[in-house]
């Protein structure tokens, strides 16, 4: 099995967000990494960038509005809850509201969910619509089986 750190490293390196990035959660089941990209990316290119990166690591894209996505998000949530205490029930619809909340904060946002073998990869990138500031990256690499 491909280690979570290897996939995360490739993605963060591709986005030039490796330097200064740090894990928010790092367990054998799940790795969540946040960073800032040094790349100057036009907002219209965000969907292509995310798609190319996911293809580049060999991820099979999962439609965010599908039953497999709901299952994977539920497992990711369980893996997170095994590490930190989160009040309330699992909210698989939170991921759908993610883009809306970033756009409400005046950010261009793009995300993708995919699988690589028994691992799930969720990549989110966002940038202020003003064009100022960095491109932010959040990456989740999780075991996709309960």
Nearest CA to 131 among 107, 115, 96, 109?
107
Taking a C-beta distance cutoff of 8 angstroms, is the pair 8, 33 a contact?
yes
Residue 121: closest CA among 47, 58, 34, 46: 58
pLDDT per position in the chain (146 positions), as tens?
568 999 999 999 999 998 888 899 999 899 999 999 988 888 899 999 999 999 999 999 999 889 999 899 888 888 888 888 777 776 666 777 777 888 899 999 999 999 999 999 999 999 999 888 889 999 999 988 76
- Token pair for 66: 């599908």
């Amino acid at each position: 099995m491909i280690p979570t750190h290897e996939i995360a490293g490739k993605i963060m390196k591709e986005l030039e967000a490796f330097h200064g990035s740090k894990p928010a959660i790092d367990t054998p089941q799940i790795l969540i990494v946040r960073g800032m990209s040094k790349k100057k990316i036009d907002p219209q290119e965000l969907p292509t960038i995310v798609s190319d990166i996911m293809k580049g690591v060999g991820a099979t894209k999962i439609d965010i509005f599908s039953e497999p996505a709901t299952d994977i998000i539920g497992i990711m949530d369980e893996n997170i809850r095994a590490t930190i205490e989160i009040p309330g029930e699992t909210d698989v619809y939170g991921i759908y509201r993610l883009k809306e909340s970033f756009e409400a904060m005046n950010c261009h946002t793009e995300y993708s969910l995919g699988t690589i073998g028994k691992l799930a990869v969720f990549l989110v990138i966002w940038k202020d619509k003003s064009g100022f500031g960095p491109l932010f990256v959040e990456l989740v690499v999780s075991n996709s089986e309960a």
